Amino acid sequence: MNKKGFIFDLDGVIVDTAKYHFLAWQQLAKSLDINFTEEENEQLKGVSRVRSLEKILAWGNKTISQDLFDKLMGDKNEEYLSYIAEMDESEILPDVPRVLNLLEALDQPISLGSASKNARTILERVNLKSNFHAIVDGNDVSKAKPDPEVFLIAADQINIKPEDCIVFEDSVAGVTAANTAHMISIGIGSKDVLGHANYVFNDFTEISDDFIKSLINN
Ligand code: B16
Ligand code: MG
């Protein structure tokens, strides 16, 4: 059996934590008198924590000291972690376990490639940590998506060449990162947003076992 490397983004692919990021960023924005909308939250998908706060401050036309910036980053994460603490397996997105189990049955290496520094905690909460042969997250990279670093490290950790890797991603920056790494990109979301991916599906219920097998055999 051929071996391909299957790399999964976390937020928006395995679980929908964007709603928790939104609540935490909204609380922070409110404390600064900044109006923060769900549309703006969309633009933070796949974007690192530091960059997210920079963008919110720019939208609100605010400049703050480095000390306050650092404090707000900490506060936001604490608030976010309080939501994460309540997560369980019921929050895994539909058919993700089916695809992970199929890949395991077909003996395919699986890695996580996420921008989140909380990725390990989240995988533990939803009981999926042991499904991954490697976990690469926001703690392991120096350059955020759209830089391909996170996916290149993930490929290296599962010993698969980048061109033999397949990336599942819900963010524009993440799909660009996968393409730049010369990997096959599979967008999870809308074609209007992720048109630059090699394939796009609304969610994993649209990804058949035969499609996964065809990726392995090509
Ligand atoms: P944290 P992903 C990304 O995760 C999220 O999409 C993005 O909204 C978040 O700001 C980023 O992680 C950092 O997360 O604050 O937990 O370190 O989609 O790359 O799995
Ligand atoms: Mg994501």
Question: What three-state secondary structure class fits 106?
Answer: coil
**37-65 as b/e: b if 16+ CB within 10 A:** eeebbebbbbbbbeebbeebbeeeeeeee
Asked whether residue 40 falls in the same domain as residue 128, the answer is no
How many distinct structural domains can be found in the chain? 2
- Are residues 94 and 64 part of one domain? no
Q: Which domain holds residue 76?
A: 18-84
Of 84, 115, 139, the position where a domain reaches its end is 84
CA 47 / ligand 1 centre spacing (Å): 6
What pLDDT, on a 0 to 100 scale, did the predictor assign at position 162? Answer: 98
Binding site membership of 149 for ligand 1 (Cβ less than 6 Å): no
Residues 103 and 9 in one domain: yes
Do residues 33 and 54 share a domain? yes
209 given a catalytic annotation: no
- In 3D, which of 167, 117, 157 has the Cα closest to residue 141? 117
Distance from the CA of 153 to the center of ligand 2, in angstroms? Answer: 17
Q: Are residues 69 and 158 in the same domain?
A: no
- From the list 172, 177, 174, 168, the residue with the least C-alpha distance to 148 is 177
* CATH number of the domain enclosing 144: 3.40.50.1000
Please indicate, yes or no, whether residues 9 and 22 belong to a single structural domain of this protein.
Answer: no
Specify whether 183 is located in the same domain as 139: yes
**Do 104 and 197 share a domain, yes or no?**
yes
63 and 122 both lie in a single domain:
no
Check residue 42 and give its pLDDT. 86
Say yes or no: 115 and 186 in one domain.
Answer: yes
CA atoms within 13 A on the CB side of 193: 18
Q: Is 9 a catalytic residue?
A: yes
| Closest atom, ligand 1, to C-alpha of 9 | 20
Ligand 1 centroid, distance to 52 Cα (angstroms): 9
Which atom of ligand 1 is found nearest the CA of 51? Answer: 10
Please tell me whether residues 9 and 44 are part of one structural domain.
no
Which residue of the set 9, 70, 95, 192 is catalytic?
9
Q: Is there a single domain that holds both residue 127 and residue 182? A: yes
pLDDT of residue 40: 93
Mutate to test the pocket of ligand 1, among 40, 49, 84 (most ligand atoms within 8 A of CB): 49
Pairing of strands 199-201, 5-8: unpaired
Tens digits of pLDDT across the chain (218 residues)? 799 999 999 999 999 999 999 999 999 999 999 999 988 998 899 899 999 999 999 999 999 999 999 999 999 999 999 999 999 999 999 999 999 999 999 999 999 999 999 999 999 999 999 999 999 999 999 999 999 999 999 999 999 999 999 999 999 999 999 999 999 999 999 999 999 999 999 999 999 999 999 999 98
Check which CATH number belongs to the domain holding 28 and give it.
1.10.150.240
